[in-house]
Structure 1
Amino acid sequence: MKGRRLALAVCGGLMMIAAAAGSAQASEATITKGVSIEGVDVGGMTKSQAEAALEEKAQQLGQTKVTLMMGDNPVTTTLGELGYTWTNTDIVGKCLTLASSGNIVERYKEKKDIEKEPKAYTMTFCADNAKVQSFVESCSAYNSDPVEGSIQMGSDGIPYVEGGTDGLTLNVDKSVAAVENAISGWTGGDLKVDLVVDKKSPDVSAETLSKVKDVLGTATTDYSASTAARAVNVENGCRLISGTLVWPGDEFSVTRAVTPFAAENGYEQAPSYEENRVVDSYGGGICQVSTTLYNAVLKAELDVTARSNHTMIVNYVQPSKDAAIAEGIMDMAFVNNTDSPIYIYGYCYGGQITFTIYGHETRPSNRSIEFESKVTSQTDPQGIQLVADTSQNVGYINQVQSPHTGYTAELWKNIYVDGQLTDSVQVNSSTYQAVGTIYDVGVVSQSSAVTQAMYSAIASGDVSQVQNVIKYGTGAAQRQTNAQGQNGASGQTDAAQGQTNAQTQTDASGQSGTSQTDASGNAVISVQ
């Protein structure tokens, strides 16, 4: 009896399952509970219901933001605008077959397993090739040429890099493939795709210029006593040099940078040295620019390839620290012997000119240098030189050159390590000529006798004789003889008599000159 009851119970259970199955077959099939597609719970849904829910899901996903990166330029769109399409639509039919095969017991068991451990499926998508192609091609608007790098000085006194970026050209075909592959492999969230570009590097890259940040050397000189024209020339020369980049192994020439010396290049006429005297010329004062840069170059320990001292001493730097230039004759030049570019920055403010050289510092931090000027001899100026000026009338006498002491000098570099002097190296040697006072003397007169008398006075080298000709004309010789008879050699008229007190002006080297009056009492301003 007990075995019969058990058989009847089993038979009853199977009959109930069979009845349930028959009932399900009588209505439209639904997906087994516990099944989801792309996060949508489709359990219990019919095929049409599931497809509608998933189409809605696909439309929602079509609003997903897509960012295409063209170099550093982001271009945004959506999956929908790229023709986003759900491709594995047969997934719904496959889900309907779950727990639908095998005998009744097997189907029942599979349903229970799915309810216990839900099954999750994903939707797959693709983009419309034509729409992707069209949108990617529009990104060609961001094609660019390479931008050469440059260095600019910030308001904080620190150089910063501008430009130095690659030129970009969009590779359309490869970019379309990259976008389509990204969409097909997308798993959710905003989508970002790097477009494929062909790059062209600039000659001067930002990476290279980023090393130019250390002060290698700086120097300042004062030109505040200069004439207005000379100050213009100093500031113009500084402007023409400032902002220059010098690459490793390249040579920089001051003369090439600041010439031609002409009004068209921003220069005015100002005092400058010419054959041991001071004359007005375009660019007068430019040597102070080259000198200031020379001292900055020395401190940066760059390789100086050309440097000349002035013929006469200057007073804005110590002896042997100057660097004269003359187009086609003298230059100040150096080679960048470091491993990185150097940047020359110059400015003028408050009557001072400053050059600073920036680069990549590789010298040991415990090492320092200083430069010592040593005067090795001195020669005092001797005599007076009188020069006939055929453009001026008799009566004109003008001191065009003040006396300059002559020197020989040397410049030495002292090297210190941890504050201790370890070496001294001679940098250069210089010879500055001793030059006496020079006067220009007018010789033009309606009387040839007076002109001849003035030439004779000039040839004597005696200013008092020139003054006598100015005062007495052809009778100057007799008065000179009488004066000698009455007073002897010591009673001659002093060379300074008949002149006004000098007013100091600045010549090309910063030395003082004079102004005085001519025989008519009109002021004659020195060209110095």
Structure 2
Amino acid sequence: MKLKKRFLGTLVFAFVMTGAFCAAAEDDVRIDNGICIGDIDVSGMTYDEAYALVKQRIGEMRSAVITVQVGEDSIETTASELGLQWNNKSVVQDAIDLGNSGNPVKRYKERKDLDQETQVLSLEFSANANAVRDFIEEKCKQFEKEPQNATISADGSGGFDLQEGVTGQVINVDESVKAVQDYIANEWQGEDGTIALSVEIEEPEGNTEDLESIQDMLGTYTTYYGSTAGRNMNVERGAELINNHVVWPGETFSVCDQLVPFTAENGYELAPEYSMGQVVQGYGGGICQVSTTLYNALLLAELEIVERHNHTMTVSYVPYSMDAAIAEGSMDLKFCNNLDTPILISGYAYGGELTFTIWGKETRPADRTIYYYSNTLSETNAEGVALYAAPDQPVGYFNQVQSAMAGVSAECWKEVTYNGETTTELVNTSYYQATPASWEVGTLGASDALLSAIYANDLEAAQAAALGVTTQTESETQATDTVVTETPATDTPATDTPATDYIDPNAGANTDAGSSDGVVIWE
């Protein structure tokens, strides 16, 4: 019995002493030879020595330059800016344990393996998602761009200037964050590197190859303008806004969309225009001559007219049924490029001459000719006059602002001659209302008789009432012994009607007129 107790006590003592020895050994344990952490040889190092060296190396890695590609663009950053994180800090302890932990058999095998081959323990990293997202939003979004079509413009001497298109690109931020994180976790080796973001590419609608097909004149038309300075400037501004516009196959072009808004900020001036049959001053007066001139060029190019309206009253810068009125929000001139190749609209207005030319690829036979002509179906004369009160003018003021305009019903016909045969086709039918001559009548100090005459549109009665007025003071009404009349000035729309038998495709007149039922038409 005493022998058994003595044996147990010896065993306990041995166990305690062994534990004490092991504890002392762990304090001095060193990493076995043949072990690397990443590219750092930590053989023979203590835990603290190895940890300090690895941490120093990771600090260097944080400064590694990462080139981030955004499509064809790129920007440089650092691993640190991408939120580099060291994930397996236990790797130093893993190096200590290799060959120094576990049962004797395990330790023996691991050391024998180290004698044969160096053991490399990997460093594991990740990129902080928030840091990556911030970098993309703040530094990479600058490379996003809208696609821009290749452009072409007439150089004024019969040639063309071509500009390459720009490919559009948009960053997919969520996919890009994942791509950066995957690169840092699985591919990056701590050196300088390159990562491509996820970018959605949008090709431009056309390229220079498409535009190089634009070589031929498909249709051209000229009208002549010369009125108030404001109207002249509006015509020139309208031509400028449409000039050098490319219309791609299948695309529909809206003239109003190109010209609006009709404001001073958009370069328009005050000029005569018609509202409810009366001449008023408004921004954009005269712009219908722009749409009309373009309309005739489009007809000669034989492009598909989607929308076209005649004026309410006749205009005189083109024959009947050859006009195209526009009114913001209610009337437009639209056409579709029904060709297989793009076209270019060239617009020019200077010195009273307005010309639009349609350029493209000519596919029509050289011996095929087209003409457009107007056929008047009926014509009625306007009856009476229209009188409008001018409250800021004295009694005795009479100013004719619009000549009488006939009511007309007319057609536009297309005539095609090819291989010795001629065919005709109805293009449109237009109806223009008869409009009486319009007068402004001064009503400052007017009598009931004068106001009644204006209401009744009775010019003779208005003139008689004005002659019968006796004014008290010159400052109140301005005394008059005779009726003051003014003939239409050169800055108001003229009303001469055009010839309507046959139309030269390149002909035009130099006067203007127009009207509206409840809307403003910029004649």
- How is 1:257-336 mapped onto 2 (pairs within 5 angstroms)? 257-336=258-337
* d(CA) in 2 for partners of 1:251, 1:238: 18
1:143-162 deviations in Å (ceiling 9; x for gaps)? 99987421022242222322
Contact 2:397 2:483 (C-alpha < 8 Å) held by counterparts: no
The 1:228–1:147 alpha-carbon spacing in structure 2 relative to 1, beyond 3 Å, is: closer
The 1:274–1:167 alpha-carbon spacing in structure 2 relative to 1, beyond 3 Å, is: closer
Matching residue of 1:208: 210
* d(CA) in 2 for partners of 1:200, 1:415: 43
The 1:327–1:463 alpha-carbon spacing in structure 2 relative to 1, beyond 3 Å, is: same
Q: 2:460 aligns with which of 457, 464, 471?
A: 464
More helix by share: 1
1:102-144 deviations in Å (ceiling 9; x for gaps)? xxxxxxxxxxxxxxxxxxxxxxxxxxxxxxxxxxxxxxxxx99
* d(CA) in 2 for partners of 1:293, 1:348: 12
* d(CA) in 2 for partners of 1:503, 1:317: 21
The structure, 1 or 2, with the larger RCO (C-alpha pairs under 8 Å, 6+ apart) is 2
The 1:218–1:206 alpha-carbon spacing in structure 2 relative to 1, beyond 3 Å, is: same
Please report how far the alpha carbon of residue 407 of structure 1 lies from its aligned counterpart in structure 2 after TM superposition. 1.0
Please report how far the alpha carbon of residue 286 of structure 1 lies from its aligned counterpart in structure 2 after TM superposition. 0.2
Matching residue of 1:229: 230
Please report how far the alpha carbon of residue 349 of structure 1 lies from its aligned counterpart in structure 2 after TM superposition. 2.5
Q: Secondary structure at the match of 2:241?
A: helix
Matching residue of 1:379: 380
Contact 1:148 1:204 (C-alpha < 8 Å) held by counterparts: yes
The 1:154–1:266 alpha-carbon spacing in structure 2 relative to 1, beyond 3 Å, is: same
Matching residue of 2:439: 439
1:218-251 deviations in Å (ceiling 9; x for gaps)? 111000x311110000000000011111111111
Q: 1:217 aligns with which of 185, 208, 219?
A: 219
Q: Secondary structure at the match of 2:468?
A: helix
The 1:305–1:165 alpha-carbon spacing in structure 2 relative to 1, beyond 3 Å, is: closer
* d(CA) in 1 for partners of 2:268, 2:154: 25
* d(CA) in 1 for partners of 2:400, 2:299: 37
The 1:167–1:252 alpha-carbon spacing in structure 2 relative to 1, beyond 3 Å, is: closer
Please report how far the alpha carbon of residue 451 of structure 1 lies from its aligned counterpart in structure 2 after TM superposition. 2.9
Letter of the 1:502 counterpart: T
* d(CA) in 2 for partners of 1:409, 1:270: 28
Q: Secondary structure at the match of 2:431?
A: strand
The 1:467–1:334 alpha-carbon spacing in structure 2 relative to 1, beyond 3 Å, is: same
Contact 1:226 1:510 (C-alpha < 8 Å) held by counterparts: no
The 1:248–1:509 alpha-carbon spacing in structure 2 relative to 1, beyond 3 Å, is: farther
Please report how far the alpha carbon of residue 200 of structure 1 lies from its aligned counterpart in structure 2 after TM superposition. 8.6
Letter of the 2:492 counterpart: D
- How is 1:38-77 mapped onto 2 (pairs within 5 angstroms)? none
Structure 1: any 5+ residue segments left out of the alignment? Answer: 1-142, 169-198, 476-496, 514-527
Q: Secondary structure at the match of 1:427?
A: strand
* d(CA) in 2 for partners of 1:499, 1:425: 52
Letter of the 2:236 counterpart: E
* d(CA) in 2 for partners of 1:150, 1:218: 21
Matching residue of 2:487: 502
* d(CA) in 2 for partners of 1:268, 1:250: 31
Normalised TM-score (structure 2)? 0.56
Letter of the 1:207 counterpart: E
Matching residue of 2:125: none
1:450-480 deviations in Å (ceiling 9; x for gaps)? 53222123244332322232222279xxxxx
Letter of the 1:242 counterpart: N
* d(CA) in 2 for partners of 1:250, 1:338: 10
Q: CA RMSD in A?
A: 2.9
The 1:269–1:501 alpha-carbon spacing in structure 2 relative to 1, beyond 3 Å, is: closer
Deviates more, 1:301-310 or 1:430-439: 430-439
* d(CA) in 2 for partners of 1:464, 1:147: 64
The 1:390–1:461 alpha-carbon spacing in structure 2 relative to 1, beyond 3 Å, is: same
Q: Secondary structure at the match of 2:344?
A: strand
Contact 2:403 2:494 (C-alpha < 8 Å) held by counterparts: no
The 1:378–1:506 alpha-carbon spacing in structure 2 relative to 1, beyond 3 Å, is: farther
Residues matched between the structures, number: 315
Please report how far the alpha carbon of residue 327 of structure 1 lies from its aligned counterpart in structure 2 after TM superposition. 0.4
Structure 2: any 5+ residue segments left out of the alignment? Answer: 1-142, 170-200, 472-481, 497-510, 513-522
The 1:230–1:256 alpha-carbon spacing in structure 2 relative to 1, beyond 3 Å, is: same
Deviates more, 1:451-460 or 1:364-373: 451-460
Matching residue of 2:48: none
- How is 1:385-424 mapped onto 2 (pairs within 5 angstroms)? 385-418=386-419, 420-424=420-424
Matching residue of 1:430: 430
The 1:206–1:461 alpha-carbon spacing in structure 2 relative to 1, beyond 3 Å, is: closer
* d(CA) in 2 for partners of 1:509, 1:305: 30
* d(CA) in 2 for partners of 1:317, 1:150: 32
What's the % identity of the aligned pairs?
45
Contact 2:372 2:413 (C-alpha < 8 Å) held by counterparts: yes
Normalised TM-score (structure 1)? 0.55
* d(CA) in 2 for partners of 1:310, 1:157: 34
The 1:421–1:377 alpha-carbon spacing in structure 2 relative to 1, beyond 3 Å, is: farther
Letter of the 1:343 counterpart: L
- How is 1:113-152 mapped onto 2 (pairs within 5 angstroms)? 148-152=149-153
Please report how far the alpha carbon of residue 166 of structure 1 lies from its aligned counterpart in structure 2 after TM superposition. 7.5
Q: Rg bigger for which structure?
A: 1
